[in-house]
A and B are shown apart, each in its own frame.
Chain A
Amino acid sequence: MQLQTECSQPSSAVAVGSNCRHLDSASAGIRRSRREAAVKRRSVGLGLAALAIFAGLFSLYGGHQTPTGQAPLADLNAANLSELKNEFNGSQANVRMLVLLSPT
């Protein structure tokens, strides 16, 4: 019985050591997969943030098309301010509105 015990102890010690190595590699694997998941989450987050910024910039600055039935957006400057004045005075028989807005 004694011999058996002596024999079993070293073998169990070896077995425990082997289990520890197995557990170490398993926990390392879990840590690695957690790290990879965190990196993936961060990448997805950054991608979505970039998409939101792109969509926002496009909605603010993309294209300058007027609706159907309206004249195209006209550039107003010192040289052609008189055109706006003429158009304003040209419809003097009507009620007119002048509205000044900023794009953003």
Chain B
Amino acid sequence: MSSTAAKQTCACWCFFRRLDRSACGGASALEALLETQTDLHLRVFVIWEPVLATDLSAPSTIAIRRLHDPRVKQYWDRNRVLSHAMGEHDRPSLVWDYIAVYKPEQIWTDAPPQPEFTGRPVVRFIQGTRKALNTIHSAQKKLN
């Protein structure tokens, strides 16, 4: 194969790999976090939404299966209705690559309640999420 063709093939593959990594960095980090969480009653709602120009359709099986924990429920939010419910009114206020932790007894009324912990991007706030979960579980143990 000529070096130009090799470079083109490599560039194509790297482009898709980079997309895949950026897409699933948060999902993989979340799955790694869930593997360390022993709370069987934990509920995780994952909402996939189109944000980037490459988000042409619902997440692929490969992306979805990065989150294989049975406590997870996954949704495809084509029109970003949840992001709008959480305050999106223009591009900068778009809610994505976002993680939030809610204590027991918090109720969703018009919009999701004020979370106990929140952060974005997901990858950077995964340690904070772990600490928040541990804090909530410790507080629950003290109450019980």
Contacts and interface: CB of A to CB of B under 8 A. Distances in A.
A102 B96 contact: yes
B78 A101 contact: no
> How many of chain A's residues touch chain B, expressed as a range?
35 or more
Interface string A5-18: 00000000000000
B143 interface: no
A101 B122 contact: yes
Nearest to B116: A95
Contact of B108 (A49, A88, A102): A88
Given A65-B65, A101-B46, A102-B52, A45 B6 contact: yes
B74 A70 contact: yes
Contacts of A30: none
Interface in B1-36: 1-2, 4-6, 8-9, 12-13, 15-17, 19-20, 22-23, 26-27, 30
B90 to A, nearest CB: 17
Interface of B: 1-2, 4-6, 8-9, 12-13, 15-17, 19-20, 22-23, 26-27, 30, 39, 41-52, 54-65, 67-68, 70, 72-79, 81-83, 85, 95-108, 112, 115, 122, 129, 133, 136-137
